């Protein structure tokens, strides 16, 4: 993805949600790079995403948690099976690219005036705009609100490796030094809604089976599952670690699963 000079693990560990920006407008060359990169993103689900960069001031957009930038990027796609995972995959690819340029981002699904964003995106009836992100240059100090938010969701920590990743069956934790250990460490540090980290992975040979451990309250009445967006993010981190030399398939291996844990997809290292 054109960032060979940057170590992948470093990039992933350096990324954090940025909610306080320095007030400088996004430079035109950065805006152009971001849009051009976004347009080039393909997901393994072959579901296209339509992107727009939005000016909050001109379009009446706001997020109560974001200060110091007027620029947002948003994506929309047609409602269909796997739209959540495809969006998560694509948007996280853009988030990591933005990070490589030194730009701050925050995944936002909830804390925004959604109707105004959807209008600005010219959202059609059969489309969904899952999330947006501010774009800009991080301020040197976080706002008090941002600091409090991070504390509230323990944003600087993640669950233990041994509770997330397994060797051929859910009963057997995967050792950190196993094949794909580094890639899974990069999955571990992915962002997720309310930092819930719903991803669970069972490794079998060159296959990584991704499962969603569902928390209550993330599936809306129309069936949209925000935690499946997190699953797309996790899968992108895994793919990113392997230079995207992976193949996606949806073929449930039929393993015995813990409660509220559902199969999502398999990534096979090529």
Q: Does 230 bind ligand FMN (CB under 6 A)?
A: yes
Q: Does 215 bind ligand FMN (CB under 6 A)?
A: no
Instruction: Give the residue, chosen from 41, 65, 120, 135, that forms a contact with ligand FMN under the rule CB under 6 A.
Output: 65
Nearer Cβ to ligand FMN (113/268): 113
Q: Does 108 bind ligand FMN (CB under 6 A)?
A: yes
Q: Does 263 bind ligand FMN (CB under 6 A)?
A: no
Number of residue whose CB is nearest ligand FMN: 191
Question: Which helix (H) or strand (E) element contains residue 228?
Answer: helix 226-241
d(CA 261, CA 102): 36
Q: Does 116 bind ligand FMN (CB under 6 A)?
A: no
| DSSP annotation string for 8-70 | HHHHHHH--B--BB-SPPPPHHHHHHHHHHHHH---TT----EEEEEEHHHHT---TT-BS--
Q: Does 218 bind ligand FMN (CB under 6 A)?
A: no
d(CA 150, CA 142): 10
Q: Does 208 bind ligand FMN (CB under 6 A)?
A: no
d(CA 118, CA 28): 24
Residues 117 to 156: which contact ligand FMN by CB under 6 A? 131, 149, 153, 155
d(CA 133, CA 111): 11
Q: Does 198 bind ligand FMN (CB under 6 A)?
A: no
Give me the least distance between CB of 10 and ligand FMN, in Å please.
15
Token pair in block for residue 269: 């290292």
Token pair in block for residue 175: 């050792």
Task: Give the residues lining the site for ligand FMN (CB under 6 A).
Answer: 16-17, 65, 106-111, 131, 149, 153, 155, 191-195, 226, 229-230, 233
């Amino acid at each position: 993805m054109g960032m060979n000079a940057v170590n992948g693990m470093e990039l992933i560990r350096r990324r954090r949600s940025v909610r306080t920006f320095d007030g400088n407008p996004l430079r035109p060359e950065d805006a152009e790079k971001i849009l051009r990169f976004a347009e080039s993103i393909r997901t393994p689900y072959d579901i296209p995403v339509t992107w727009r960069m939005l000016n909050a001031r001109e379009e009446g957009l706001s997020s109560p948690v974001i200060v110091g930038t007027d620029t947002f990027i948003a994506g929309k796609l047609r409602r269909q099976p796997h739209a959540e995972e495809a969006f998560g995959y694509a948007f996280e690819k853009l988030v990591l690219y933005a990070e490589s340029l030194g730009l701050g981002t925050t995944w936002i699904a909830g804390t925004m005036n959604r109707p105004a964003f959807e209008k600005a995106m010219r959202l059609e009836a059969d489309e969904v705009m899952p999330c947006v992100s501010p774009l800009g240059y991080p301020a040197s100090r976080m706002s008090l609100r941002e600091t409090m938010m991070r504390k509230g969701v323990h944003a600087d920590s993640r669950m233990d490796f041994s509770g997330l990743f397994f060797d051929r069956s859910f009963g057997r934790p995967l050792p950190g030094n196993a094949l794909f250990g580094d890639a899974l460490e990069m999955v571990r540090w992915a962002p997720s809604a309310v930092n819930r980290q719903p991803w669970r992975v069972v490794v079998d040979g060159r296959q990584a089976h991704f499962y969603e451990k569902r928390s209550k309250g993330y599936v809306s009445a129309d069936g949209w599952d925000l935690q499946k967006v997190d699953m797309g993010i996790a899968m992108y981190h895994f793919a990113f670690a392997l230079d995207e030399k992976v193949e996606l398939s949806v073929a449930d291996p039929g393993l015995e699963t813990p409660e509220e844990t559902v199969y999502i997809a398999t990534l096979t290292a090529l």
